[in-house]
Structure 1
Amino acid sequence: MFLHTVFLLSLLLSTSHAAVQDFCVADLKSADGPAGFPCKPAAKVTSDDFLFAGLTETANVTNIINAAVTPAFVGQFPGLNGLGLSAARLDLGPAGVIPLHTHPGANELLLVTQGHILAGFISSSNVVYQKLLTKGELFVFPQGLLHFQIAAYKRKATAFPFFSSANPGLQILDFALFASNFSTPLITQTTFLDPDLVKKLKGVLGGSG
């Protein structure tokens, strides 16, 4: 028993000084990769790297969708690097809408803090799941699925999405189709939309082709 205790103590002492990397603050001057950003040298890490105050202010929603998303991803918040989470602020004006979009790199958990938001997603079997959310309620969007948020009752709303990745990615379906150089004939062929409608939407969103 004595020898067993001595062995355990020696093992604990030998491992107690082992190097543990508690965090990897992103070096944003370097290129991002599949494993994230390289780590900033520890000597250059400060408390400011673990604080992000960019979600405290209401964003300007004077735009075509009457809404704005303020991200707190690793590119804005270096302390998130490698931690597998991030956040954002969603401001919706009256009847504001975040069009159908996906986050290919993360699940999303939406917390409503003001107003009412109609939120939903489309499953891979083409089933729509949607709920009218109010202050304090949460809704989850599984990774990669098309989803949306709309301010209800013609009133402004605010919500905070949280993601299971420091860099969840974003692709908005309407912008991918009509704000890009995806040619009108190909859009017509792949979506069955009328060519004149495609050209009209391209004119609104600034696409070409």
Structure 2
Amino acid sequence: MQTQKKTLIVVVGPTAIGKTALAIKLAQFYQTEIISADSRQFFKEMHIGTAKPSAEELAAAPHHFIDSHSIKTLFSTGDFEAQALKLMEALFKEHNVLVMVGGSGLYIDAICKGLDDLPEIDLAIREKLNQQLANEGIESIQTQLQELDPEYYEKVDQANPQRMIRGLEVVLSTGKKLSSFLTAKKKERPFNIIKIGLNTDRALLYERINHRVDLMMEAGLL
């Protein structure tokens, strides 16, 4: 008798579209758990400007990869792929369905499509880039990455200095763009993947985004 494949439901869409609310409803319906693929929500030091789920939302369904890491420690896309797949393997022993919500297209792709093995990095280059960030600010890192790997720059969270530095250290260490390590051939996963893409009227979406920004400003974003 053939064992039925497990299923990962992936909820994607623009910011403020309602991804978190739908993910919670799905998790409650299937009595399962949520895996965040939002690169800024991983970090416990980043509270303002990240639109993390509220305490009530976190209580409504089990969440993973929220406040799970420190921004002081490098956490790459490859690290997320490895850790998330290991977690999913364990969770699928208890659930037939899991929900992933994002967030960051690069991290969604890492789970749904897979990444090539990433190269070893020259630690001296990493240290130099960290010093550049400290001395010149994130704008210098953003500009350099946009020039050297525009494909990765367009997909990555441009407000996250770790992600910016990761892209630069790969191209400076290897001469190859980090975007080139995104697998062109989709890797086979031992589970089904269902993607749900949310969209709405543009005027309504902008209204929601503006309201969210107002709340962030009140919370001390600037």
Bigger fraction of residues in helix: 2
Bigger fraction of residues in strand: 1
Under a length normalisation based on structure 2, what TM-score does the superposition of the two structures give?
0.23
| Larger Rg computed on CA atoms | 1
Under a length normalisation based on structure 1, what TM-score does the superposition of the two structures give?
0.24
- The structure, 1 or 2, with the larger RCO (C-alpha pairs under 8 Å, 6+ apart) is 2
